[in-house]
Structure 1
Amino acid sequence: MSRSLRAFLMSDIEGSTAHWASQPRAMDETVSALDRTVGDVVSAHGGDLLKARGEGDSHFAVFALATDAVLAGCELQDRLSQPIETVDIQARIAIHVGEVDAIADDYYGTAVNQTARLRAAAHGGQLVASHVTALLAEPSIADRVALRSLGYHRIRDFPHLEEVFQASRLGDDRSFPPLRIGETHGPALMAITVIDICGATTAVGEMSEVTVIALHREWAASMRALGDAHRATIVKTLGDGCVAAFEDPLDSLAFVQAFQQEAAAQGFEIKAGIDVGRVELTDGEILGTVVYRAFGLERAAARGEIALSPLTRQLAGLSGSGESPGPLDS
């Protein structure tokens, strides 16, 4: 048994049960043609089709690269946009990347289950991809494939809100209904954090352009790394600060305190604001009234202060209205 990183493509036919019930013989021919088409496309893009994992009209393919998986998915949807046999079928396709165990020419692990959950959220004719898939593939295929964020969704077997992308050839303007997420679709209640580095504008004015760029890169990398460490759903850098969203206010507070310590080590102070409310996360943006409230708290905060809304204090277990959260215990 060996563990490896792989890109997984899963597909199935939307509404296949009704097709089988009404046109069983035609569906036999159509699915046979589909098997050949999927096999040809997967092979052309360097993937392996695991027939043992395909159930009925579904298919399971494995690729070494996310780029190849996305290109294969796009080509497959292109081919299926025209009837391949007498039954007009539409496939739901999902792609995800993760670590799995390879056992006897098969793959097992959470990433496989997550790919299946993602496929269940798609519509016929639609190709969806996880955040990590889009992140890995986009630099290599931006001139051929459009990856459009469909927002953040709570999908079964994914540990946190997952940003889902729709992949399509450039120029393909097909649109689809909202993902089949059920009760998890729509705005989410999140802790929104705004951080500003105090005195940064004055400080960088005395630095060379090269030093300023290097410092900004360092701050941005630190914010993103701390965001990952404290389970941020999204961290968006803004100049010398950031706005971030968390499912848990305690994670939000720990994130600010951790960055406060890193900034202090460089001789800088920060101020921050945290509020909790309903937001919509889409196209890398955080949308909602609570964002304005968090920015208002940050602007009103004193140097070195982390300003919390009353609801944030309540959820974080800070009782006194004048209580100010201190840095994390080392």
Structure 2
Amino acid sequence: MAERRLTLDTDARVMAWIGPGGVPKVADLDETPPRVHEADGPEGARSVVPGGTAGEFLVVGDGTVVPLRWTAGGVGSGDAIPLPDGAREVGAAGGLIAACTGDALLTYDGRWRERAALPAEPVCMAWQHRRRSLLVLTRDGSFTRFADEAQAARDDAWADPATAVYDEVLGALWLAHPGGDARTLMVRVEPWPPRTIYQAGLGAGVRGLTVAQNGEWLAVRYGGDRPIELYNVSGRRLFRPPPTAGSAGNSGNAASGVAFTYDNRLVTVTEDDRVSFARLPARVDVRTAPAGGEAAANEFFEHGGDLDIETFWEGQMYKASKPRRRPSPAAAGGSR
């Protein structure tokens, strides 16, 4: 079965994906347990991407895109918008819809307008919220950024990645195995021009990446039957995802989708559209996880990690809530 590709809204509180038969599904992650709602989408719906504001998504079908809007009353669909011929990437750009063809970046404001020429096929398009600009990585290793005008930068080391994903927190793109290189690179695009600042050893066969809201974690999807794994950026370590309620046998399965919520939880949706959560370790717990290879790391997550995490956070909360009082003059050796 194909893997669920999960998408969060701009607040990381509402999640959407494409269910069986091309039906868009939406869940409010602040509900416990989350209820899954079906929505109307375009014919042949194949992917869903974040919209421009909280609770909004764009469902991409065969030649059209349909806006979805989540509210407390449920989910509603907007009118279908025809995509430009040859559209490869679709996303939100502030209050507009953006698309990339094989050679151009366009935005939609009632009609499609070309904003910048692209030197090669697009690999990844992202809206940079802080910069209010569109960013496109193309197959030849070029970055094109468009706000009021287009800027471009290129490096052969960034060409032909297996996959790429944008990290808004760090202002960077993760590129998996560009040019067949065994490494995964983080390319910082803020400030401009782009530059490689980090290399991760994720192994061969990376086919997809999902980045956490705080920039601390990557969910790594591999080819074949290899399970999804989690990579901690600061600890430089790979872990198997922890079992989660309702999906203990499937949380690392290739048919399960994963995403990261705003409050540092891993959310999973399995083949039967069941949504469940697991708390991710704090940085201190990753540093103290047992060394000794994959088996030891998995032992930490599956049997010791949760208890250690809760103990750590309870200690922090106790310290923060314990009142501090000034000593009385008598206790300080003074007089009234």
TM-score of the aligned structures, taking structure 2 as reference length? 0.26
Higher relative contact order (Cα pairs below 8 Å, separated by 6+ residues): 1
Normalized per residue, the structure richer in strand is 2
Normalized per residue, the structure richer in helix is 1
| Greater radius of gyration (CA) | 1
